[in-house]
């Protein structure tokens, strides 16, 4: 039921299969409205995000 208030929704994936391909649903894109992002495997996405987040960390050698 509409409440008259703004609402935000987001996808939350907990422990996804790293080989799972995440891509725009075919029903949500067209020639005039192409996907904003290319398909990516969930493991590669997580690795990219972690690398961006921690790229400035210094690794100490034992």
| Count of domains for the chain | 1
42 phi and psi, to 5 degrees?
A: -60, -35
Does residue 11 form part of some domain?
Answer: no
The predicted model gives 37-59 an average pLDDT of 86
Residue among 43, 46, 27, 45 at smallest CA distance from 35: 27
Which residue segment(s) compose the domain that 39 sits in? 21-47
Does residue 55 form part of some domain?
Answer: no
Does residue 62 form part of some domain?
Answer: no
Instruction: Provide the whole-model pTM.
Output: 0.62
User: Any idea which residue has 């790293």 for tokens?
Assistant: 18
CB within 8 Å of 45: residues ≥ 6 apart: 22
Residue among 46, 50, 52 at smallest CA distance from 13: 46
Structure confidence by residue, pLDDT tens digits, 10-46: 878 788 899 999 999 999 999 999 999 999 999 999 9
Does residue 32 form part of some domain?
Answer: yes
Does residue 5 form part of some domain?
Answer: no
Does residue 8 form part of some domain?
Answer: no
CB 24 within 8 A of CB 35: yes
């Amino acid at each position: 039921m509409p409440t008259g208030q703004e609402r935000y929704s987001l996808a939350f994936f907990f422990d996804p299969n790293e080989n799972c391909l995440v891509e725009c649903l075919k029903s949500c894109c067209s020639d005039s409205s192409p996907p904003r992002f290319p398909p990516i495997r969930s493991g590669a996405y997580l690795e990219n995000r972690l690398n961006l987040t921690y790229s400035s960390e210094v690794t100490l050698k034992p």
